[in-house]
Amino acid sequence: MTMSQFYIAVVLVVLAAIALMVFLTRKGRQEQRLSTLSGMAFVLVLAGLFFGENRLLGYGLIAVGVILAVIDVFRRLPDR
């Protein structure tokens, strides 16, 4: 296993742990569905991690995913 594969494996384990913690701490709270835009952002970030060998493609997918996540956050802000 190369170092880049090791880093990707560690990141995936950390993401799974965070998802498990969020799932366990949200019991009893009102369920909020994942929006389409944030779902696409999550998929793009994960795809960027999987295609990490090609740096241009991997970083590009991660960047697009982060931009979509930021757009989703601004769309969900209450009107002022």
Distance CA 6, CA 52 (A): 12
Query: For the chain, what are the domain ranges?
Result: 1-32, 33-80
27 pLDDT more than 80: no
Distance CA 53, CA 70 (A): 25
For tokens 């594969």, the residue is 5
80 pLDDT more than 70: no
Mean pLDDT for 28-38 is 78
Condensed to tens digits (0 to 9), the pLDDT of residues 40-62 reads: 999 999 999 888 888 899 999 99
- Split at pLDDT 50, 70, 90, the class of 15 is confident
Compute CA distances 9 → 6, 16, 34, 54, 70, whole Å: 5, 11, 25, 16, 25
Percent of the chain whose pLDDT exceeds 90 = 30
Whole-number pLDDT of residue 29:
66
Six token digits for residue 51 = 């295609």
